[in-house]
Amino acid sequence: MQHMFSIEPGWVACFARLFELCKITSDENVIILSETSSSQLHVHLSKLGLGQIGRHYTHLELPSAPDPTGPIVRSSGATQILGTQALAVQMMCEADIIIDVTIEGLMHAPQTAEILKSGTRIMNISAEHPDVLCRLLPTAEMKDKVKEAVAYCREAKQMQINSEDGTDLNVNMGGAASVGIWGWTDRAGTLAHWPGGIVVSFPQKNTVNGRLVMAPGDINLSFKRYLESEVILNISDDYITSIEGKGADARLMRDYLAGFDSKEAYATSHVGWGLNTAARYEALTIYDKAQTNGTELRAVAGNFLYSTGANEFAGRFTRGHFDLPMMGCDIRLDDRLVVRQGKLVS
């Protein structure tokens, strides 16, 4: 079979190293999950990486779901390909590990909870250029840093976010589900994505209130766009109640969210911050939109990540999802300052 792309040996080595970190053993059942529109380069690199460490696999390719009418969903973290695929879900529940190279990924898919509950672990490989993945190959140091941040979140009663631009947001952390992603998974029933280096908390209902002032240079990852004008999000009991701003950025956000015709599209999904000092803020200017899913920007050290849409821990589901990395913020957990003006506090 001929492939219309070149394979760099360094890329294969990085994929093999990732699978070593996942501690995939020779007697485990491995599924490579892809869809018909997946990057064939990523599928092939997954096969070669597993082959390099002598591991067998089953390749499960499912049809990509057609885009419904309404807003165009990108970078949602919730693949739609499993909606009518009960047999595929059953197969994944019987596997030990899934190498997920679907376009949107299994992170927020409705079927993911069932798969993880079965003990299967999920390793999502984000649809980034392989150079991005190799630059951000996870390390043991990253795992330690992320686990420390998760511990801080789980201990905290409040998260407070402020900025010189006027952001003043409060999150009641009581009962919040906090998870850290360092870039690989080696424990049953857990999910990770590569690149990693991020901590996020899914708050309970009616726990997020205040005002987010997004400044030029902040990022809307659904649009893969750096903001060029101010956008103000007013948030009450988890929901964005108004989007202020005179520029194209505010108009795009207002029109996009309105297109879902659902209150849940305006809800808070998760909050957190990036911890990966190797992740580059300027990445969206370097790679074409088809070469990135924006995961690197989510992990940029010191960014405050506010996300809208589905929050399974608060019983909310919607196709709409914004990931909005904000630079230059202070983030406090109770009295502990973890980020000062967009820089990690060591």
Higher pLDDT, 236 or 68: 236
At residue 116, the pLDDT reads 97
**CA–CA separation, 130 and 46 (whole Å):** 11
The number of domains in the chain is 2
Q: What is the pLDDT of residues 20-43, one digit of tens each?
A: 999 999 999 999 999 999 999 999
pLDDT-based confidence at residue 3 (cuts at 50, 70, 90): low
At residue 1, the pLDDT reads 45
- Region 195-203: mean pLDDT is 97
| Cross-strand bridge partners of residue 311 | 316
At residue 4, the pLDDT reads 66
Q: What is the pLDDT of residues 264-285, one digit of tens each?
A: 999 999 999 999 999 999 999 9
Of 218, 204, 205, whose CA–CA distance to 306 is shortest? 218
Same-domain status, 173 and 313? yes
91 CB-near residues (< 8 Å, 6+ apart): 31, 58, 60
As given in the structure block, the two tokens for residue 157 are 């009663």
Range of the domain at 232: 138-181+196-344
Torsion of CA 271, 124, 300, 337, to 10 degrees: 40
End-to-end CA distance of the chain: 50
Provide the CATH number for the domain around residue 116.
Answer: 3.40.50.2300
- For helices 9-21 and 40-52, the axis angle rounded to 10 degrees is 70
Same-domain status, 163 and 104? no
Would you say the pTM of this structure is higher than 0.85? yes
Same-domain status, 105 and 150? no
Helices (H) and strands (E) in the chain, counts: 9, 20
At residue 44, the pLDDT reads 97
The radius of gyration computed from the CA coordinates of the chain, to the nearest angstrom, equals: 19
Q: What is the pLDDT of residues 77-109, one digit of tens each?
A: 778 888 889 999 999 999 999 999 999 899 888
3-state class of 142 per DSSP? helix
Same-domain status, 124 and 173? no
The pLDDT of residue 8 is above 80: yes
**CA–CA separation, 168 and 196 (whole Å):** 27
Same-domain status, 47 and 145? no
190 in a domain, yes or no?
A: no
- Region 62-91: mean pLDDT is 85
The pLDDT of residue 310 is above 80: no
At residue 321, the pLDDT reads 82
The pLDDT of residue 294 is above 80: yes
State the number of CA atoms in the 13 A half-sphere of 197 facing the CB: 27
256 in a domain, yes or no?
A: yes
Same-domain status, 69 and 152? no
pLDDT-based confidence at residue 68 (cuts at 50, 70, 90): confident
Q: What is the pLDDT of residues 185-198, one digit of tens each?
A: 999 999 999 999 99
- Region 62-83: mean pLDDT is 81
2 in a domain, yes or no?
A: no
Same-domain status, 158 and 276? yes
Q: Give, as one character, the DSSP assignment of residue 303.
A: -
Residue type, 332: R
- Region 195-212: mean pLDDT is 97
Q: Does residue 171 contact residue 271 with C-beta atoms inside 8 Å? A: yes
State residue 175 phi and psi, 5-degree precision: 80, 0
Higher pLDDT, 291 or 92: 92
Q: What is the pLDDT of residues 123-182, one digit of tens each?
A: 999 999 999 999 999 999 999 999 999 999 999 999 999 999 999 999 999 999 999 999
